[in-house]
Structure 1
Amino acid sequence: MSCVKLSISSYHTDQAKLSELKSGFNATELFLSGPLSDEDICLVCKEVLLQLESLEKITLELRECTDNGCVHIAHLIEKNSSIRYLSLLLNNVGEKGAQILAKGLLKSSLQSFSMYAAQLDLHDQCIGDTGAKYIADALKDHQTLKSLYLVQNRLSNVGLTHIIKNLSSSSVCELDLRTNNIDSEGAKVISSYLVDNNTLKKLVLNENRGIQNEGAKEIALSLTTNSALTQLSLRSCGIGKKGAERFAACLVQNTTLQTLDLCGNTEVGDDAVELMSRGLKENRSLLELNLSCCGLGDEGCAHLAEALLVNETLTHLWLQKNEIGDGGILSLSQTIRQNKVLCLLSVSGNRFSHKGSTALAQSLSQNDTLTTLDIGGSINTESISMVDILLDKNKQLIRYKNWTKELLQINKELVQQRDSLKKLVHKKK
């Protein structure tokens, strides 16, 4: 058993559930939720959670927890050294709670710390910039923390600066600051850090709508020299044509970025995608590209299709909810017949008709790498059946290829062992 989910209303009324959990717990992950008071949290942490020696990952959805409740959570992660991953969904925790948690974090063995506000309209019940500073200060001397998620906590550029300032001296390689109040000036702070960064691998800035074109330009510019970041997500950040265009140069010069997510930036459009497609022709590292909800039409889709004839690394492409018609889909269909790399293609929610979906389905007959194809509702039952059969064929072919590679590797190792034994026997003679 790997994960246990438990919902309780209070320590006293749900003691039977908690006793059962404590006595028979052999899982590594626990999701605990409920309207627990701070007193309940104290008892649950002290009498139950501290005793779970196999517990490695815990998610606490405690919507009634206040700053005082954080004392007991901090004590839990400090004393139960088996806990490596902590995720908190809290509604009523502010700066003081963040300070308390930061002290517990500093003395813990955590590798991942996540703190989410459970709803948007929190006003003063978020950790804010001051709370972010407490967390940031704990980063300096924490040697095991790899992932930091501070989501929907009303961080502005000030809180961001505190975090970035201490990243270099920390072990954090994943940073998620989605749905905060970071704007283009904050993006400049991030850009300055990324220029010399050699530790951060994953950066998520989704729904920081103030980043816009100027912020995107700064981040894209830093990636022309950055050699560490592998995943960048800028969903719904108000980025338009001019911001997205800058990623064309990034795709040409960057050699480490593997995932780029621009979903939800509705003003990107065909012209910017044309330039990005030129960059894709030269890129040798990007594996996943998400351009869903980016205002992409037939022209932009055709440019992407052309790039995929040349690109040899992109395996996942999302183009949902754009303005792509039959013309763009026909271009993609021709490419799929020749592309030998793409594994996933999603084009649902566009404007193409049965003609386009049929052409896309038929293209699979000459493709042996696609294992996932999301066409959406514009496909009839017969075509769905054909797609399923052809995708299954590709899956089996890939399994066979992987099996063959494994056999070849085993054979290579056996040959090496045989040669070593021969040398050993020869030496003894």
Structure 2
Amino acid sequence: MTLKRSRSDSNEKTVEYIKKKIRTIDSPEKSINLYHCLNELGDHSLVEQIQKCLKSGKIKEATISSSQWSAVVCVLLTSEEDLDEFCLDKFVKAKNKHKNMEVLQKLLPVIKESRSVQLSNCGVTDEGCAALVSALRSNPSHLRELNLSGNEIGDSGVTLLSAGLADPHCKLEKLWLRDCGITDEGCAALASALTSNPSHLGHLSLTGNKLGNSVNLLSDVLQNPHCKLEKLWLNDCDIKDEGCAALASALRSNPSHLRQLNLSLNKIGDSGVTLLSAVLKDPRCKLEILRLRDCGITDEGCAALASALRSNPSHLRRLDLSWNKKGDLGVKLLCAGLKNPHCKLEELQLRDCGITDEGCVALASALRSNSSLLRHLNLTGNKLGKSGVKLLKDNPHYKLETVYC
């Protein structure tokens, strides 16, 4: 468990605070059994341990009883400073869902006061989402980051969360929902919430959810002129041509905000990449990072990307085309775009793409024509010989900082 604060109270002050609270606390909202807490602590060793962990930022995984969790909450609530981050990633075991809920209920007062809440792989279900939404609704303008990745919250959990996101007072900026079992229904609820309150969320990850064509609903959000989404991760979401077409259409309507797009592990193929390349050509497009790992891209898709790099070369900084079997011809086509003197690409990932020394010759030629561009090049898993590797690694005129072959 990671806890970040700007400072921590002294042990003595904390113990005195707890003693005082035993006599005065009457808030059912905090629901902390302080008397039981001090009874079990005895010499206050756990309070001291928690304070030490607060300063170091870590609490090691251990078996913590109900009253000890109360002690954790109590110590966290004693500080006069704001709690910047509350992280329980993988700390609560998913095997015991009843205990997870019990712990989550105790931690709600702390979660409500946190700006960043990290609860990935904690066994949170739709019931936990209901508890979280209840707490966050009482203080919706405080939370800025929420990570529920790896929890089986499903469509019902996302629907509950979406009700909170639709609140005009909600100022959430980053939301991670990777591998949460979300399908069409949950995507629809999320899209509806973001349509109602689109101006704050800047980072959304829905990686590993089988959205399919329901990504069209998110495309409607992207078209909203008030949408401020800058980072969108949709890798391994079962998106195909139709979904890619909808995303491309949305980005053509409102191209200036998105900075990062991850569509890896979706079989969008050359047709999908061609549609996205048309967006990249738009001078208003400010996309800096594009990840298209294992998307079924061949020579045709590489030609479209190269054309985009020639037309609007100055914004894209990172391009990942790993695990697409485009071979040497695809790389040669791509290099035609890299030779543009205005190209600012700094990182190029081409892992396991069937490239040989012939492709290395094309890359070396592009680097000679525009030696100021690439800093990081990854060609791991390709069929390179010694001559190809030498071409890329032994030229002092290149500005490459890392080369993986």
Q: Distance in 2 between matches of 1:54 and 1:23?
A: 18
Q: Distance in 2 between matches of 1:20 and 1:343?
A: 45
The residue number in structure 2 matching 1:134 is 160
Number of equivalenced pairs: 350
- Is residue 223 of structure 1 aligned with residue 254 of structure 2? no
Distance of aligned partners of 1:24 and 1:234 in 2 relative to their CA distance in 1, 3 Å threshold = closer
- Is residue 110 of structure 1 aligned with residue 143 of structure 2? yes
Deviation by residue 1:164-201 (Cα, 9 ceiling, x = unmatched) = 21124152111111111211x21211222212243111
**Secondary structure of 2:258's aligned partner:** coil
Deviation at 1:260?
0.8
> Scaled by the length of structure 1, what TM-score is found?
0.75
Kindly indicate whether structure 1 or structure 2 has the higher relative contact order, using CA contacts under 8 Å at least 6 residues apart. Answer: 2
Distance of aligned partners of 1:40 and 1:336 in 2 relative to their CA distance in 1, 3 Å threshold = farther
2:86–2:111 contact (8 Å) kept in structure 1: no
**Secondary structure of 1:144's aligned partner:** coil
Partner of residue 373 from structure 2, selected from 341, 365, 381: 341
Deviation by residue 1:257-316 (Cα, 9 ceiling, x = unmatched) = 111111122x21122111111111112321111111122210111111111111422222
- Is residue 252 of structure 1 aligned with residue 281 of structure 2? yes
Deviation at 1:18?
5.7
Distance of aligned partners of 1:36 and 1:163 in 2 relative to their CA distance in 1, 3 Å threshold = farther
Distance of aligned partners of 1:354 and 1:35 in 2 relative to their CA distance in 1, 3 Å threshold = farther
2:356–2:383 contact (8 Å) kept in structure 1: yes
> Scaled by the length of structure 2, what TM-score is found?
0.79
The residue number in structure 2 matching 1:77 is 111
The residue number in structure 1 matching 2:74 is 47
**Secondary structure of 1:85's aligned partner:** strand
Partner of residue 391 from structure 2, selected from 334, 348, 359: 359
Q: Distance in 2 between matches of 1:257 and 1:182?
A: 23
1:132–1:155 contact (8 Å) kept in structure 2: yes
Q: Distance in 2 between matches of 1:162 and 1:35?
A: 37
Alignment map for 1:181-220 (pairs within 5 Å): 181-183=210-212, 185-197=213-225, 198-208=227-237, 210-220=238-248
Partner of residue 331 from structure 1, selected from 355, 358, 362: 362
Which one-letter code corresponds to 1:217 in the other structure?
A: A
2:119–2:147 contact (8 Å) kept in structure 1: yes
Q: Distance in 1 between matches of 2:249 and 2:67?
A: 50
Structure 2: segments with no counterpart, 5+ residues: 5-36
2:53–2:59 contact (8 Å) kept in structure 1: no
Structure 1: segments with no counterpart, 5+ residues: 5-10, 119-125, 376-429
Distance of aligned partners of 1:296 and 1:101 in 2 relative to their CA distance in 1, 3 Å threshold = same
Which one-letter code corresponds to 2:349 in the other structure?
A: W
Distance of aligned partners of 1:113 and 1:349 in 2 relative to their CA distance in 1, 3 Å threshold = same
Deviation at 1:249?
0.6
- Is residue 270 of structure 1 aligned with residue 302 of structure 2? no
Coordinate RMSD, CA, aligned:
2.6
Which one-letter code corresponds to 2:214 in the other structure?
A: G
1:305–1:331 contact (8 Å) kept in structure 2: yes
Q: Distance in 2 between matches of 1:299 and 1:263?
A: 18
Deviation at 1:55?
4.0
Q: Distance in 1 between matches of 2:62 and 2:363?
A: 48
Partner of residue 309 from structure 2, selected from 269, 277, 280: 280
Which one-letter code corresponds to 1:162 in the other structure?
A: A
The residue number in structure 2 matching 1:298 is 328
User: What is the percentage of aligned positions where both structures have the same residue?
Assistant: 24
Deviation at 1:151?
1.6
Deviation at 1:225?
2.5
1:213–1:244 contact (8 Å) kept in structure 2: no
- Is residue 241 of structure 1 aligned with residue 270 of structure 2? yes
Which one-letter code corresponds to 1:360 in the other structure?
A: L
Q: Distance in 2 between matches of 1:181 and 1:44?
A: 40
The residue number in structure 2 matching 1:317 is 348
Distance of aligned partners of 1:40 and 1:173 in 2 relative to their CA distance in 1, 3 Å threshold = farther
The residue number in structure 1 matching 2:29 is none
